[in-house]
Amino acid sequence: MQTRNRLLPAAPGRHGLSPSGGVVDTNVLIRCWSGNLALPTLSGAWQLVRKICRHFFTRARRRRLHPAALPISTIFFTVALAALAFGMAASPSYGRTGPDAVPQNVRAAIARGLHWLAKNQNADGSFRAAQQDKPASTAVAVMAFLARGYMPQLGPYHRVIDRGINWILSVQQPDGYIAPPGGTMYDHGISTVMLTEAYGLCDGNLRIRVGKAIGKAIQLILRAQKLTQSAFAGGWRYQPGETDADISCTGWQLMALRGAADSGANIPASAIKDGIAFVLRDACPNGGFSYQPHGPPGRARTGTGIVALELLGKRDMPQALSGGDYLLAHPLVPNEQFYFYAVYYCSQAANQLGGRYWRVIYPHIRDQLLRIQNPAGFWTPFGIEAQGQKSYATGMAILGLCVPFHYLPLYQR
């Protein structure tokens, strides 16, 4: 019997998504649940119940089982989840009280950003960016909708999400690489992370196609990791055939491995161990993380290092905590290089560390983003980030603002 939701050693020759051990994949149900909390209304709760029931009956039909043959635990879980959904939907305070309350002005800023993204999606499903960066920008934009709780195939914005997912699937190469000519492992890693977050929310043929794409993408990530050498061993670089590595590309590949494991993939324990070892070699003696071993620390790379360690089970390591101290001492500044990249990673890092790191770092980032948002809803990138254009900056800003919702399963503490 397979254990799910752990970083497992892979069976020989198998790095793709493994089938569920039973009729119902409870990981999928949790993702269905998280996705329907974007709008805490009775209609949203009803959509949740419909989606869960549809998932149950589809899986039962594929296995030629009568619905009455579903396990009692499954039926009980469904009833309990539905009751909780309706109870929360009926509560006027849901999502607006407690330590993770999201103020109305933040909700409005997110809504304006998503509306702008939806209006500016290309007809083929991609989002505007330099050609070599289009998969990464498209994946970031799709994740922005998922981070606010919107779902593929159902509800508001589902057509935007579906078109984005299908475009990413269409550009995957036969060897699994999700990148156009001139593209990089950034495209591949970010796109794979998005697919792992969307997988549990998809039904039918789309779910099958996404699962196959994740399996191929993960195989490429694992092959590329084996080529890095010496101080760079365990990491990843811009292209899958390179022998050195950097923390930025590595962070996305490690999150893709974690997201795939959460979706049911068998991930070699050695890949996680080697990836963590590379991240630790990037830790700076006086706090923070460097781009490559023995380099200087920076905000974006420090956020990346913290998130990688925390998501891979190395919680509250001294290197992560000293990284948090570095971010407290070096708050983000708009118009600096890689600002929106740092917004994404530092907000996630603050969430993972919690405590004073969350209380100081996230509000600082949130208030900055509110000040620099264009009234039309978008954010404008600076410097090299301009290659991703406004869709990239807007997606990254929304992902940062949406952290308190905790809808993306990969980033939940």
Rg (CA), the chain: 20
Is 148 in contact with 38 (CB distance < 8 Å)? Answer: yes
**Model pTM score:** 0.81
Q: If you average pLDDT over every residue of the chain, what do you get?
A: 84
E strand or H helix at 272: helix 269-281
Residue 31 backbone dihedrals phi, psi, to 5 degrees:
-70, -35
For the stretch 258-304, pLDDT in tens is 999 998 899 999 999 999 999 999 999 999 999 999 999 999 999 99
CA distance 96 to 177: 41
Structure confidence by residue, pLDDT tens digits, 331-347: 999 988 899 999 999 99
**For a pLDDT cut of 90, what percent of the chain falls above it?**
67
Look at residue 289 in the predicted model and tell me its pLDDT: 98
pLDDT score recorded for residue 27: 43
Written as six digits, the tokens of 31 are 């993702």
pLDDT in tens, 343-391: 999 999 999 999 999 999 999 999 999 999 999 999 999 887 777 789 9
Please write the tens of the pLDDT for every residue from 18-58.
Answer: 333 223 344 444 444 444 444 444 445 555 566 666 666 66
Domains (ranges, CATH) in the chain?
Answer: 24-95 (no CATH), 102-411 (1.50.10.20)
Helix (H, G, I), strand (E, B) or coil at 121: strand
Length of the chain counted residue by residue: 413
pLDDT confidence of 17, banded at 50, 70, 90?
A: very low
For position 35, what pLDDT does the model report? 42
Residue 89 predicted with pLDDT over 90: no
